[in-house]
Structure 1
């Protein structure tokens, strides 16, 4: 196919403030489960689109899927306790059976502008793909090459804050593509260790954080088409897997594999953590963190199936966390809706199989994509009346 992508006009997102109620039990409002077979189709993260209309997830060996937000949740501010759980179905599916490393939404995605509805994906031994979120078709590819002119797969992908550039982190470099020019035209920035995670700051355009498998984070500034080194952080015990900039751009939150701490870095005083947050991460799997659009709450998954939430609005370590045991298997993906108090989670991990069935302990494989209402809830008066009548009659 011809490498072409239409010109995309970026619109700055409108600031939205959402009222969360993490202290109260989260109410499940949507779910879809992938069956576990010999291929182990567990999920690998979930990502709300920037306009909040749909949810993207990656299934190991089962491609990428987009589920739409249930229609009744668009306008409501309160959910009844009797609301049934919506059975989610993929509106768009891309049957990519190879190993997918990373995905990323276009930051100016708006469903009323079809040209902006797209996402990136990187996979094993392949180029970076740009997919159409309406049809699931491949729009174009961005191809990076190594010193012997072989395809250099991207371990991580990210758009710049304005959506004009694409950052592709590989083993020895970060390749910078212009979004409107697919192909092999790029600028390269050398790195010392594989770039496992990349995130751009929206508050400070041009500032980009590059995490590596060597537990280091490099802060760079984009200028003259490439990167300029600013500083480097080191404090994690494992390779960096997830990062998020604060709303004001002065803080950076990071998490790593086999590391039970989320570190908050003060970018005004580089090199020293501002505080740390405890979470359960006992495997090499990528366990995501996400920051609310208002900048007040940070949420994290965990290998124990719990979702933790902290109020990080102050420059001191939160005194306590809010725990939500939402899954019976590893919760690897968390994503807060941009305009509604809805938390999306994904669960699943690789389980060692016993081909001779010697083990008598059943393996719990959940492999679920869920939506949880973490805002105001209201008891259904009809349901309460029915319960009272039933109790009276008995």
Structure 2
């Protein structure tokens, strides 16, 4: 990762222009049909220097933000699409269930550059974002002292703890103490999704495969149940707290609604937003750092954008047809008007190979400019000159 550009990091919130045609900046593509190498989401690092994605059967990959995107308020529409080449790759062959950046990650301090992941039949791993090396592991054991794989993982707001969702409990590991020491909070159903509130440290939302969400407060190794939310038709797959921590947004598998919960009055949803989600695959949502914009993907390949700063259901809705296959991952850059998306899903194969034509599916990691755009004056001049000469 490039340390030279980290020192000039912007702190101001970007100006978004979602209503403009999104300008593709960079792309990386993976093959699909034989090995089913489809992507499973994407996440910008907290300092915005790089993007992390997981590819089924092809490991985890870290892509750097192109250097020309660190500055400037306007981008020329003639900018060529750059190929994304992994700066770091971790060749994990097993299925990765979940992953999360360390919240204090800063490329100027290599010790903070890491992410955590959970995979099939394995412990939780902490990976070095500079080298791709395994730093340490956290092992969760069940009542019969057998190693369990965590279904979901996330860091606490301060990064001191790692919350891991299992089938019968949520285990909390101390980040600075790898191994098998943990405290746990029992849950009725498998914890499929976990997110921590940045505005209210210690408050954690636990989503389950039984379409319910439980809010708990955790401090000093003790837990306090706050409330339980129910309204989805499928198991919870993605959640995000608002910037002030007063709202929680949630999405579920095979459920076309993204629900906004007002946590001051948590009895019923505040409003619902529609998206296409007709598969069991996790389709993520994200909220801009300014707290105004919510984005989500969909199985139709479209990215839905809403302005959620209003006190009621948002009136501003923008639809971006960015992919030809399922858009399962969306992530807004923390301080630049750049949207990252990941596409792909499992496709049923013809076991008898009746078809001679091998289908091509889109499995791409893309970066899109969603800020101010400007036509290239030299390009316009060249087009006018060519039209005149003809």
Q: TM-score if structure 1 supplies the norm length?
A: 0.95
Determine the structure 2 residue equivalent to 1:217. Answer: 213
Cα offset for 1:79?
Answer: 0.8
Determine the structure 2 residue equivalent to 1:169. Answer: 165
Decide which of 303, 322, 334 is 2:318's aligned counterpart: 322
Determine the structure 2 residue equivalent to 1:33. Answer: 29
Determine the structure 2 residue equivalent to 1:3. Answer: none
Cα offset for 1:14?
Answer: 9.0
Cα offset for 1:361?
Answer: 8.1
Determine the structure 1 residue equivalent to 2:5. Answer: none
Determine the structure 1 residue equivalent to 2:129. Answer: 133
Deviations 1:51-91 (A, max 9, x none): 00000000000000000000110112211011000111000
After the TM superposition, list the runs of 4 or more consecutive aligned residues in structure 1 that deviate by more than 6 angstroms.
Answer: none
Gaps of 5+ in 2: 1-8
* More divergent stretch after superposition (16-25 vs 185-194): 16-25
Q: In the superposition, relative to structure 1, how do residues 361 and 135 fare at CA in structure 2: closer, same or farther (>3 Å)? A: same
The whole-number CA distance in structure 2 between the counterparts of 1:29 and 1:14 is 19
Residues 307 and 324, structure 1, Cα contact 8 Å, conserved in 2: yes
The whole-number CA distance in structure 2 between the counterparts of 1:376 and 1:360 is 46
Cα offset for 1:15?
Answer: 6.0
Residues 176 and 226, structure 1, Cα contact 8 Å, conserved in 2: no
**Helix, strand or coil: the match of 1:119?**
strand
Q: Which aligned pairs between 1:115-126 and structure 2 lie closer than 5 A? A: 115-126=111-122
Decide which of 237, 253, 259 is 1:263's aligned counterpart: 259
Residues 33 and 360, structure 2, Cα contact 8 Å, conserved in 1: no
* More divergent stretch after superposition (379-388 vs 351-360): 351-360
Decide which of 294, 298, 303 is 2:299's aligned counterpart: 303
The whole-number CA distance in structure 2 between the counterparts of 1:312 and 1:363 is 39
Cα offset for 1:38?
Answer: 1.3
Q: TM-score if structure 2 supplies the norm length?
A: 0.96
Determine the structure 2 residue equivalent to 1:101. Answer: 97
Gaps of 5+ in 1: 1-12
**Helix, strand or coil: the match of 1:90?**
coil
Q: In the superposition, relative to structure 1, how do residues 330 and 133 fare at CA in structure 2: closer, same or farther (>3 Å)? A: same
Decide which of 359, 365, 370 is 2:361's aligned counterpart: 365
Equivalenced residues, count: 382
The whole-number CA distance in structure 1 between the counterparts of 2:172 and 2:122 is 17
**Helix, strand or coil: the match of 1:389?**
helix
Aligned-pair RMSD on alpha carbons?
1.3
Residues 259 and 281, structure 1, Cα contact 8 Å, conserved in 2: yes
Determine the structure 2 residue equivalent to 1:393. Answer: 389
Residues 344 and 361, structure 2, Cα contact 8 Å, conserved in 1: yes
The whole-number CA distance in structure 1 between the counterparts of 2:249 and 2:377 is 43
Cα offset for 1:356?
Answer: 2.7
